[in-house]
A and B are shown apart, each in its own frame.
Chain A
Amino acid sequence: MLMSTLVAGLVLGGTYALVAMGLTIQYGIARTMNLAYGEVTIAGAFAAYLIYNVLGVSPILGLTIIAPIGFAFGWIVYGLLLRPLVARSKNTAALEINSILATFGLLFVVQGVMLVIFGGNYTSYNFMNYGVDVLGTRVAANRLLALFLAVTVGGGLYLVLTRTRWGTALRAVAVNPAAAPLVGIDANRAARFAFALGGGLAASGGVAISMYQTFTASSGVEFTMKALIVVIMGGVGNLAGAILAGLLLGLAETFVATYISPGLTIASVYLIFLAVLLWRPQGLFGKVSR
């Protein structure tokens, strides 16, 4: 019981970490708060569902198409919707509020489009739905694959951002957007790229979720909320923090669902969130004075 809860929690947490990494990049580097983030995740889940059910192609192969589409979508949204707001806003606080309002509208547009195409019913598909023995408990193979996906994509991205020159430039923009141009970094281009990267990650997270969970066209808000909570818990723009906080959240949710009541998972998530906000507003792993 304990072992299987632990493994299930890690799988869920891995997916949360993957989804939250995209949001922490968007918020930390592009400085825009994207409330339509979860809708992109759900769109990715629906795309994987279509690719598997209609074309019969494995979601893993589908990922190689879906992630670039998510990236392109982020690129376009930033250029059309957010770039004018960045130009208009006088400071980061104004930009945050403006981006929240604009993406709040975008949330309803994307959700409405998905409702028109797919309807409001719960959707899922059967992919690798057989048990595998792990550490003495049986775990569905699709969950393990989702965890593997989260670890590879998330880990790969972490290495790219921390070990390459290009990743360092992106992180420099996150630390100080005003000083980055002084050392020859095009902050606008970096922001647009970061936002697009977040879109790709959101869509990849959706593919991972679709392999083992049911989802509806209107469940995007839930993922936006959870990603936001993970981002703030982990410290804005902090990748390692997002991964740890994501795993923590997945474990907490699974344990509450197993040992207390499945109806209280969201409530427990918000309580954790509130506690973190009051105790350490800069995040569990964030630096002081943010």
Chain B
Amino acid sequence: MKPVLLWGGGLAVLILLACAPFYVGPYWLGLLIGLAGYVTLASAWALFSGRTGYVSLATVAFFGIGAYTVAVLSEKLPYALVLLIAAGIGLLVALLVGLATLRLAGVYFVIFSFGLAELVRQLVTWFETTINATLGRYIFLPLGPEHIYWQLLALAVVTIGLTAWIGRSRLGLALKVIADDETVAAHIGISISWTKIALFAVSATIITLVGAIQAPRWTYIEPNIVFNPTVSFMTLIMALFGGAGRLWGPALGAIPLFLLFEWLSANFPDHYSILLGILFILIVFLLPRGVVGLFEDLLQSNPKPSAPKEQLE
């Protein structure tokens, strides 16, 4: 009975969300697009980083690759093919980066991923200015905001569904063993590197697609816009806030924080990054396990004292 209710409720919410373009105004639709984008980004980030402990600051590298692929190819090829190519490029870059860096100790990976976005941005800027002699590009696609919204919503559903499925699959079980003890995992025949690389590639491909789908929203793009490090920063903070190791954590973290960021940037445009930084420090300090973890602690603190009593009786 209960799972049926849960599925029914989830489906109802999803239908309600999918029909949103028919009953909300353009401002709210814009907000929903941003929300769907960050829910997907944070969930995809947590799919890899929340389960392996490798903190990736390279989100915007893949996001920007997706956006740039659309900008370069949108007038030459059909849209669906462009998305496929963008995903393919993201996957390829992720495999190369994964092969090269995932064997390294955690902190080296953080540093390299921190620099990867900068490296990709520099290479794209150099290529555009030196070889193509232009910097920005225009994207003219016959896509309304509602089309972008539906694509992002679908991608969000796929991402969260994939996270749930991976949690129960062989890959997810392998990850649990790795998280418990890497030596044991290696001894029972789990390929640690390949498990991590596979997960990194899936996560990076989704992030690339988010960038590709959102690209037509800008109309004009240049490297400084689509490779803006704030994207990596916000994704990370949202996933951590909601709890990166849980299925719904990143989504639950993304919703309040995205609305807060929107409000902050509208009301305090000059002091935005200061407030963002302070908020981030507070989250790291006060909520090391995220908001979902906090709720679990609160829920557990009630039944716990009664448990020993039952045993006594």
Contact = CB atoms under 8 A, between A and B. Distances in A.
- A-side interface mostly: helix
Contact of A277 (B101, B276, B285): B101
B114 A225 contact: yes
A109 B281 contact: yes
B106 A266 contact: no
A111 B277 CA distance: 9
Interface stretch (B66-74, B122-130, B171-179, B180-188): B122-130
Interface string A227-265: 011001000000000000000000000000000010110
Nearest to A109: B277
A84 interface: yes
A33 B57 CA distance: 14
A140 interface: no
A285 interface: no
Contacts of B122: 263-264, 266-267
B240 A101 contact: yes
B55 A97 contact: yes
Interface stretch (A12-20, A49-57, A112-120, A204-212): A112-120
B190 to A, nearest CB: 21
B278 A105 contact: yes
B207 to A, nearest CB: 19
A270 B118 CA distance: 9
Given A102-B281, A116-B274, A33 B107 contact: yes
Given A100-B110, A111-B273, A228-B111, A105 B280 contact: yes
A102 B129 contact: no
Contacts of A270: 115-116, 118-119
Interface residues of A, number: 42
Contacts of A113: 274
A147 B236 CA distance: 39
Interface string B273-291: 1111111110011001000
B277 A107 contact: yes
A100 B240 CA distance: 13
A196 interface: no
Interface in B278-311: 278-281, 284-285, 288
- Among B104, B276, B277, B279, chain A packs the most CB atoms within 10 A around the CB of B277
Contacts of B100: 274, 278
Contact of B278 (A33, A109, A281): A109
A261 B125 CA distance: 12
B104 A105 contact: no
Interface string A98-135: 10111011111111110110000000000000000000
A264 B126 contact: yes
B143 interface: no
Contacts of A35: 114
A263 B55 CA distance: 29
A229 B118 CA distance: 13
Nearest to A271: B119
Contacts of B284: 98, 101-102, 105
Contacts of B236: 101, 104
A110 B280 CA distance: 13
A256 to B, nearest CB: 11
Contacts of A281: 104-105, 108
Contact of A112 (B104, B105, B126, B274): B274
Interface of A: 33, 35, 81, 84-85, 88, 93, 96-98, 100-102, 104-113, 115-116, 221-222, 225, 228-229, 232, 261, 263-264, 266-267, 270, 273-274, 277-278, 281
Given A261-B130, A277-B104, 8 more contacts: A33-B110, A100-B107, A104-B233, A105-B284, A106-B281, A273-B112, A274-B100, A274-B112
27 contacts: A33-B111, A98-B284, A100-B55, A101-B240, A102-B285, A104-B236, A105-B277, A105-B278, A108-B273, A108-B274, A109-B278, A110-B277, A112-B272, A112-B275, A112-B277, A113-B274, A222-B118, A232-B111, A261-B130, A267-B119, A267-B123, A270-B115, A273-B112, A273-B115, A277-B104, A281-B104, A281-B105
Interface of B: 53, 55, 57, 100-101, 104-108, 110-112, 114-116, 118-119, 122-123, 125-126, 129-130, 229, 233, 236, 240, 270-281, 284-285, 288
